[in-house]
C-alpha cells in the first residue's frame, strides 16, 4: 500500500480550486486502492483535466499510474466483470482515450474495445434502450445515460463508428420521452418498460421519485456528448441526429426543462432540487439537496466543514 501524503502538506491554499481539489484527492487516495468504478473514473478524469489546464506532470503521472494498475497487457480490467452488463462500469473507460492517444499503448485500446463489446451485447428494452444492469431488466435509469453515452460517443468519434452517434442520440431522447413528468417538467429517476417492478407506476412505468443527482447525470451526459465542456465535441456538428435532440441540449432546456417549473415562476431555483414524492398520493416534500447544494441539512453542513478543513480553509 502506498503512503498517502498528509493533506496539510499536499494542498496549497493559494492555488485555484481545481488544483486544490486535485491535490487533496491525490493526497487522500492511494492509486493501488482504486477500483474500476465510475466514482474513481470521474476523479481521474477530473485530475486529467487539471493536467490539461496546468501542464503539471504530477497530475498526468497520477492518472496514468492509477489506470496502469488496473489494465493488464491483454486489455483485461481488474475488478471489472463484463458479464454483469453494468452501465456504471462503462464511464470509467473515458479516461482510457487520452491515455491511448498520448501513448499509443495498445493495452488501452484493448481495454476500450472490451468496454465497447459490453455495449454491443448489453440487453436492451423493446424500444431499443440499454438496460441499466443485467439484474435490472427492461429498466432505463437517468444515470445510465451518463454512464454509457459520453464513452460511446467518444468511441464513435475515435474509431469512426457513425452509427454510435445515432445510438447515443436515441438513448437520450428515449429516456427523456419516458421519464418526463408533464406536471413538473422534471425527469423521474427510472422507467420500467414492462411496468413490473414494485416501484413502477402501473400506467407510466416511472419510478415514484425525482432524484437530483440523477437529473444532474442526465444533464451532464448531454453536455459531454455535445462537447460543451471544452474537451472536444464527440458528436460531429453536421451529424443529422444532433438536431433531432437539440431541444435537449440548449441552455434553455437545462434551465427550464431539466429543472422543471413551479407555478408563478419561470423555473425552479438555481439549486438542483430533489423531490421526494410518496406513491400513495401524500403531499410532496421538496428538499434542496441535489448535487449542487447539499449544505442545507445538518449532515450536509458537517460534510462541508470537514471538506473545508481538509483543503485548509
Q: What distance separates the 2 farthest-apart alpha carbons in the chain? A: 59
- Domain harbouring 240, CATH code: 1.50.10.10
Q: What is the pLDDT of residues 253-271, one digit of tens each?
A: 444 445 555 444 444 333 3
- Same domain for 77 and 26: yes
- Same domain for 190 and 296: yes
User: b/e map of 97-109 (b: 16 or more CB within 10 Å)?
Assistant: bbbbeeeebebbb
- Same domain for 108 and 62: yes
- Same domain for 190 and 148: yes
Q: Of 81, 101, 121, which closes a domain?
A: 121
Q: What is the pLDDT of residues 86-124, one digit of tens each?
A: 999 999 999 999 999 999 999 999 999 999 999 999 999
- Is 61 an active-site residue? no
- Same domain for 112 and 162: no
- Same domain for 90 and 235: no
Please return the burial class of 230, using the count of CB atoms within 10 Å of its CB with bins 0-12, 13-18 and 19+.
exposed
Say what the pLDDT of residue 11 is. Answer: 62
Per-10-residue mean pLDDT, the chain, length 313: 51 83 91 91 95 95 96 96 97 97 97 98 98 98 96 93 91 95 92 97 96 91 68 45 47 46 43 33 36 44 55 42
- Same domain for 208 and 194: yes
Q: Of the listed 88, 143, 167, 192, which one is catalytic?
A: 143
Say what the pLDDT of residue 260 is. Answer: 55
50 lies in which domain range? 1-121
Say what the pLDDT of residue 223 is. Answer: 85
Count of structural domains within the chain: 2
Q: Of 98, 121, 144, which closes a domain?
A: 121
- Same domain for 129 and 57: no
List the one residue out of 24, 33, 18 whose CA is nearest residue 5: 24
Amino acid at each position: 500500500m502506498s503512503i498517502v501524503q498528509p493533506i496539510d502538506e499536499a494542498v496549497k491554499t493559494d492555488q485555484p480550486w481545481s488544483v486544490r481539489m486535485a491535490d487533496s484527492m491525490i493526497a487522500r487516495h492511494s492509486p493501488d486502492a482504486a477500483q474500476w468504478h465510475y466514482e474513481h473514473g470521474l476523479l481521474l478524469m477530473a485530475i486529467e483535466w487539471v493536467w490539461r489546464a496546468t501542464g503539471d506532470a504530477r497530475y498526468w503521472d497520477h492518472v496514468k499510474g492509477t489506470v496502469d494498475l488496473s489494465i493488464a497487457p491483454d486489455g483485461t480490467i481488474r475488478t471489472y466483470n463484463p458479464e454483469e452488463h453494468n452501465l456504471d462500469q462503462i464511464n470509467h473507460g473515458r479516461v482510457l482515450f487520452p491515455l491511448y492517444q498520448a501513448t499509443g499503448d495498445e493495452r488501452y485500446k484493448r481495454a476500450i474495445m472490451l468496454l465497447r463489446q459490453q455495449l454491443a451485447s448489453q440487453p436492451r428494452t423493446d424500444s431499443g434502450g440499454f438496460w441499466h444492469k443485467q439484474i435490472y431488466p427492461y429498466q432505463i435509469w437517468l444515470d445510465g445515460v451518463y454512464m454509457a453515452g459520453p464513452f460511446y460517443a467518444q468511441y464513435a468519434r475515435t474509431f469512426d463508428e457513425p452509427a454510435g452517434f445515432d445510438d447515443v442520440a436515441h438513448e437520450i431522447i428515449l429516456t427523456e420521452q419516458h421519464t418526463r413528468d408533464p406536471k413538473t417538467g422534471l425527469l423521474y429517476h427510472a422507467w420500467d418498460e414492462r411496468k413490473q417492478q414494485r416501484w413502477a407506476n402501473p400506467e407510466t412505468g416511472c419510478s415514484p421519485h425525482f432524484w437530483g443527482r440523477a437529473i444532474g447525470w442526465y444533464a451532464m451526459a448531454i453536455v459531454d456528448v455535445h462537447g460543451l465542456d471544452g474537451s472536444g465535441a464527440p458528436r460531429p456538428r453536421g451529424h443529422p441526429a444532433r438536431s433531432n435532440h437539440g431541444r435537449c441540449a440548449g441552455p434553455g432546456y437545462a434551465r427550464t426543462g431539466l429543472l422543471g417549473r413551479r407555478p408563478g415562476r419561470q423555473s425552479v431555483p438555481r439549486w438542483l432540487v430533489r423531490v421526494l414524492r410518496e406513491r400513495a398520493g401524500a403531499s410532496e416534500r421538496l428538499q434542496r439537496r441535489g448535487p449542487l447544494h447539499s449544505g442545507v441539512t445538518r449532515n450536509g453542513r458537517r460534510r462541508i466543514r470537514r471538506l473545508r478543513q481538509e483543503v485548509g480553509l
